[in-house]
């Protein structure tokens, strides 16, 4: 099981390139859905550009805009999945609506590479409720629970100390720091997971 969990893909390009170079997937399925409810989406284009600059072909998959069968078929056949950032609750709602959480988790455990940026990193955790300080849960009215994929047993806190999230990340640490095993990441850091082990790495 190999995961690359980052705050900001464009800020960890070198680390991501090293992560991908070990497997060299032919194509990366790229899910931008979390940004559908956000005013600013520049990081989605930046992340996609970073992967293309490395020479990888991308297949865009907005899980909110395709059928359940189409989404499942695309993910079932892919070697590497990258889920971009945005609103974590909306992302989880759309993945659950299409029955994709268990499919993705199963695929990752069987060897599919997983890149999660911000919201895409958070959904790899056991539960996403702790991110309600940073993200607006109201945009996901059909989300009945906050259970994530549980690929790791700790909790990514992206954008730690980064504008405009300085206050929300500090508040998350204050409220949840004693309750959850938080792993704060700034925009130059990534948590690289190999099976049951992980390390936090910083872009040079």
pTM of the full structure: 0.97
Count: domains in the chain: 1
Q: Are 124 and 149 in contact (CB under 8 A)?
A: yes
- Residue 102 sits in a domain whose CATH number is 3.40.50.880
What are the residues facing 201 on neighbouring strands? 190
3-state helix, strand, coil in the chain (%, to 5): 40, 20, 40
Q: Which pLDDT score is estimated for 139?
A: 98
Supply the range of the domain harboring residue 76. 2-202
Q: What per-residue confidence (pLDDT) applies to 124? A: 98
pLDDT at 45: 96
Q: How confident is the model at residue 164, as a pLDDT? A: 95
Residues with catalytic roles? 118, 159
* Residue ranges of the chain with per-residue pLDDT less than 50: none
Question: What burial class does residue 91 get, using C-beta atoms within 10 Å of its C-beta: 0-12 exposed, 13-18 middle, 19+ buried?
Answer: buried
Residue 2 has a pLDDT of: 98
* CA atoms within a 13 Å half-sphere pointing along the CA-CB vector of 195: 0
Residue at token pair 């980064």? 162
């Amino acid at each position: 099981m190999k995961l690359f969990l980052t705050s900001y893909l464009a800020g960890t390009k070198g680390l991501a390139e090293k992560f991908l170079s070990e497997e060299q997937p032919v194509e990366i399925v790229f899910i931008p859905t979390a940004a559908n409810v956000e005013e600013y989406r520049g990081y989605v284009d930046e992340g996609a550009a970073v992967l293309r600059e490395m020479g990888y072909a991308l297949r865009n998959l907005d899980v909110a805009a395709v059928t359940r069968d189409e989404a499942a078929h695309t993910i079932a056949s892919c070697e590497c999945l990258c889920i971009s950032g945005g609103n974590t609750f909306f992302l989880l709602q759309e993945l659950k609506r299409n029955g994709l959480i268990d499919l993705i988790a199963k695929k990752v455990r069987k060897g599919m590479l997983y890149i999660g940026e911000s919201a895409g990193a958070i959904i790899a955790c056991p539960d996403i409720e702790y991110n309600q300080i940073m993200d607006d849960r109201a945009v996901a009215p059909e989300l009945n629970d906050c259970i994530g994929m549980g690929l790791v047993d700790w909790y990514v806190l992206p954008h730690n100390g980064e504008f405009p999230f300085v206050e929300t990340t500090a508040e998350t640490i204050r409220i949840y720091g004693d309750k959850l095993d938080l792993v704060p990441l700034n925009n130059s850091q990534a948590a690289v997971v190999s099976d049951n082990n992980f390390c936090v790495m910083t872009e040079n």
